Amino acid sequence: MVRKAVIPAAGFGTRFLPATKAQPKEMLPIIDTPVIQYVVQEAVDSGIEDILIISGKGKRSMEDHFDRNFELESRIVEKEEEALYNQLRHIENMANIHFIRQRELNGLGDAIYYARFHCGSEPFAVLLGDTILNSAIPVTQQIIDAYEQYGHPVIAVETVPHDKVNRYGIVGGEKLSEKVLRLTEMVEKPDIDKAPSNLAIAGRYILTPEIFPAIEQTIRGKGNEIQLTDALRIVLKQEDIVATIIEGKRYDIGNKLDFLKTTVEFALKRKEFAAPFAEYLKEIVKGL
């Protein structure tokens, strides 16, 4: 059973400057909800009870967000805004959330290494803190199901255009079924002509404790960082790893254009905004 999750959220967010100069990219709101809350919700909706967020310098607002704020609550009680009050209480009670700080930004593999004592001998989910996935069945649940079926680490992947493979970890392998592969190759941000496929790692993983000694052996790779993809390649020498092609849509919040698209799409899905916002967009489009 997968009960624990790790959310790496320590990165600088340089692609989103200047907004991320003094606030974490994971706290940027899509309408009224910070990105990290969507990610935590996906974990909770997938049956996760215990979450370790890998935080870092300048990221304390994430801790405050999941903590109780009595002063604010009492104000809201006074104003008798019950729905809002319940919303706040929901955030504080989503899961057992723990924080640890990555002291130096040495890459995703290094960030995951901070979870070794927290995870102990259990399998755990990894959800990248700057990626929202929208799907009927939460993507973390999809890969937990695959883990339970195959008993090996699972990586969520999606098809990307060939000319964008150098932005992602790319996998290659043999098909076990229409949506599942047994991996033979994994490479972090390959040159376009050297990629084993156009199946990109989508920011969700189920890992086993074997990843920790593998990270210890991992030398600095792409970007001079300890890459999780490189550590997984070491795991692959000892045991099978499977990849599941996800059903759902991925939103990379660290990217400004994706952020804009996410805001528009999510607003169109919200009951209170859908009609007036669609009306507004139609007007705008007419004028283009």
Q: Alpha carbon of 177 to those of 139, 183, 217: distances in Å?
A: 18, 13, 32
Comparing CA positions, the residue from 232, 234, 250, 266 lying closest to residue 142 is 250
> Does residue 155 interact with ligand G1P by CB under 6 A?
no
Q: How many residues bind ligand G1P (CB under 6 A)?
A: 13
Q: Mapped to the 3 state alphabet, what secondary structure does 183-200 carry?
A: EEEEEECCCHHHCCCCEE
**Rounded to the nearest 10 degrees, what angle do helices 256-269 and 271-286 cross at?**
120
| Options 131, 140, 197, 244; binder of ligand G1P; rule CB under 6 A | 131
- Stretch in the footprint of ligand G1P (CB under 6 A) among 20-28, 98-106, 172-180, 198-206: 198-206
Residue 3: both structure tokens together: 């009960």
- Stretch in the footprint of ligand G1P (CB under 6 A) among 39-47, 90-98, 111-119, 197-205: 197-205
- In this structure, are residues 67 and 53 in contact, taking their beta carbons and an 8 Å threshold? no
Q: Alpha carbon of 246 to those of 56, 180, 233: distances in Å?
A: 29, 9, 21
> Does residue 201 interact with ligand G1P by CB under 6 A?
yes
Residue 48: both structure tokens together: 């996760």
CB of 203 to ligand G1P, least distance (A): 4
- Stretch in the footprint of ligand G1P (CB under 6 A) among 53-61, 79-87, 92-100, 196-204: 196-204
CB of 119 to ligand G1P, least distance (A): 19
- For residue 10, the one-letter residue type is A
Interface positions, 225-254, toward ligand G1P (CB under 6 A): 227-229, 252
- In this structure, are residues 240 and 120 in contact, taking their beta carbons and an 8 Å threshold? no
Query: Given the complex with ligand G1P, which of 40 and 201 has the nearer CB atom?
Result: 201
CB of 215 to ligand G1P, least distance (A): 13
> Does residue 110 interact with ligand G1P by CB under 6 A?
no
Residues that bind ligand G1P (CB under 6 A): 108, 128, 131, 168-169, 188, 200-201, 203, 227-229, 252
